[in-house]
Structure formats: structure tokens, C-alpha cells
Amino acid sequence: MASMRLIFSSLLFSLLLCSIEGRNNIPLTEEEDLELENELQSLNKPPVKTLKSFTGDLFDCIEMYKQPAFDHPALKNHKLQIRPSFQTKNNVTMDEKIKSLLDQGFNDTCPLGTVIIRRTRKEDLIIAKELPKYFRNNGSRYHVLDSSEQNYYAIAESENGRYHGFQSKVTTWALPNVRPNQVSQNQVWLMGDVDGDYDDLNVIQTGWHIDGYQTGCMNLNCKGFVQVSATLGPGFAFTGSDLSTYGGKQAYFGFQILKDPERGNWWLSIVDRNLGYWPKELFPNLDVSKLIQFGGQVRTPNDVPSPPMGNGHLPHEGHGKASFFTNAQFIGEDNQAYTPGEGSASLKTNADAKYYQVVGDPPSRGSWDVGYGGPGGLVAG
């Protein structure tokens, strides 16, 4: 069963869905073990209430103003934003639309004034210890920090411009054939100043992620994302009923990333509900997004066949049989969503078409659907 894990990367502050097969056999010194225990105490705030999901994970109801985000040094003087300035109200109660998408089997809910946060475990932090040596990733501008690994992508890329966000629906699939130390991700990248120094590049990512080795910081281990929802939070799981079937029912993960025009924070909403936001203080070089990419990407050790991307089928098989971003739209500086026209974006891949493909140039009219993926099996020669 694939499950949803919302991940925040220390390098790029990404938010992803993923199925995880982690490893926790990394040897630790006594000093390292003590350091992890101290970090756990910092991350896991005293809860008002604790809920247990059907997966066995514990979710704590934390007072909104005491969540881990506010331990980030850049947010020392940050004023909490309850809802975007462009919304007049925010309903934080569970409704059937949300419950049918992300039903964790809780027999209770968090009270108002709290946010629901998955409790961090020591094994989450153990796995994260090795992550800095691996990579910084953002689509076709992927930088591998470990030469023993390869990456392949199949994406759509905007022309350089000034964007305030992105929205789309993404088909979600179970994809079990991802080996340990491999990653298959399907997401969007919103990039800041792509013409500047790479080390100064700020990127926001979100999507769904199949991971044989956890990448980035797990859930809220990287402090900074401010959560406002008492019903949705990092670490929730998609069940089998929330996943697409080949040639049958299609399930979608609909999301929007939108810059608040007054406060400058970058808001994330899922199925029309506010999950939270990335404060502007975290992104000194992301006043606007200069480039948007979305599609699929995989990572694999050099001597191991590359994993499937998307649902493992090539996109020319069409809707219902391959992975798609549907009704993809950019958000302009006027904060209005629009479908880019012909010539305003390009399709890119760095692998042979028998392994991975991307299809769906911007249309002259109608909605923009981009298919991507493939069976993988590529071994670096």
C-alpha cells in the first residue's frame, strides 16, 4: 500500500506525498544518540490531545502558537497568519470532502486552536542524518552530491517569468517497485532567482513521492512551515481507496501554492482547504517564482535499474492508464490562475523514450494536461 507522507526538505522546503521504506540501522555514537534525544524533545511539543491513526502513527494536537515552526530562528518575530489575506474566513472543521480523501481512522478530532502534527520518532531522525551527502533536486536543474547515483526526469518547464503560484490536480498511484536507496517523485518546483548563484536558489516543492530511502526532512523535522489546520497535517496517509487503478477509477490530489499578496507568505491548500504556509522569512530570494517545473523525477544508484516513474506506464497510453497533472495553471502577479498558451512552456526529459516520457504541450485553448512517467529499468553505463 502506498501512503502519503508530507515531507519538508532542509534544502528546498518541499512538501511531498510518499511511500517510505526507510532504514534505521545507521550506527550512532553515544553523543549522536543524545543529540537525537534532545532534538526529539524540541520537535515533539507537549500535546493537548493525542490521536492514533489506522497506520499506528501518533498525531498530537499542539497549540497553534506553540508548534515547532516558531522555533526556527528566522521566525523569531513572525506574526502568525491564520488565513490568507484573500480569504474572509477559514473553516477548520472536518467535512466529508476532506474525510473521504484522507480518512486516518481517528475516533476523535483535534480541538479548535490546535494543529495536528505527526509525532516524530527517533528512526525518522536517524535516517535524516545521512541526507546531506545525497543531493539537491529541482527537476532538470538537479544537482547530485553523490557521484554513485543517477537521476532522470520528465517534466514541463515554464518560460522565465514572474509567477505567484501554481495549481493542478495530480493522479495518485500505488507504486511498490521502488527499491531501497531509490526515489520516484512526482511534483512541482517553484524556483526563485534561477539566474543567480545556485547556492542562493530558493525552491518550494510539493507533490507525491514514492521513496525507498527517505529524502529531505521527514514531516515537520525541518522547522519553518506554519500549519493552521486541525484536521490535515504532515504524515497523513492515502489508503487503497484513495489511489488510481489502471483503466479504472482515477484518484486525484488537488493542490494550490499561492503567494499572499499582502503578507508575502506562500500558502498551500489541499482540496480547497488551507494546510498552512511557508513564511516569507524563509525565502529571501523568492519574492516571486521565476520558473516553474512539474512532472516526474527518479533517483537510483548507478548499478541498479532505475525505478518506475508516475505509475510505471508511458503517458502515450492516455488518461486512466498513466500519470497526469490535469488542468495545470500558473498564477500571475495579479494572483489569478491562468492556463499558459502555446509556446509558453516546454517539455524536457533526459532519458530514452522507452524508459520515461512527458507529453502535453500548452494548448491553444482548453485545459492543460501533462502526462509523464514510464517503466524505468535504465542502468547507467
Residue 380 lies in a domain: no
Q: 157-184, pLDDT tens digit by residue?
A: 999 999 999 999 988 887 767 887 788 8
Does 359 have pLDDT greater than 60?
yes
Q: 330-348, pLDDT tens digit by residue?
A: 999 999 999 999 989 999 9
Residue 379 lies in a domain: no
Nearest to 321 by CA among 214, 207, 173, 201: 173
Residue 3 lies in a domain: no
Q: Contact 209/17 with Cβ under 8 angstroms?
A: yes
Q: Contact 209/217 with Cβ under 8 angstroms?
A: no
Mean pLDDT of the chain: 79
Lowest mean pLDDT among 16-25, 47-56, 67-76: 16-25
In this prediction the pTM is 0.83
Q: 82-130, pLDDT tens digit by residue?
A: 999 988 654 433 333 444 445 556 778 889 899 988 888 887 776 555 5
Name residue 54's amino acid: F
Does 327 have pLDDT greater than 90?
yes
| Structural domain boundaries, residue 300 | 14-373
Residue 159 lies in a domain: yes
Does 326 have pLDDT greater than 80?
yes
Residue 325 lies in a domain: yes
How confident is residue 75, by pLDDT bands cut at 50, 70 and 90? very high
Residue 103 lies in a domain: yes
Question: What pLDDT is stored for residue 8 in this prediction?
Answer: 32
Q: 43-71, pLDDT tens digit by residue?
A: 889 999 999 877 778 889 999 999 988 98
380 or 241, which is more confident: 380
Residue 151 lies in a domain: yes
For the segment 208-233, the average pLDDT, to the nearest whole number, is: 63
Residue 5 lies in a domain: no
| Number of domains into which the chain is organized | 1
From the CB of residue 219, how many other CB atoms can be counted at a distance below 10 Å? 25
Residue with cell 549522536: 32
Q: 192-208, pLDDT tens digit by residue?
A: 888 777 777 788 877 76
Would you give the end-to-end CA distance of the chain in angstroms?
33
Q: How far apart are CA 163 and CA 292, in angstroms?
A: 8
Name residue 323's amino acid: S
Q: Contact 356/372 with Cβ under 8 angstroms?
A: yes
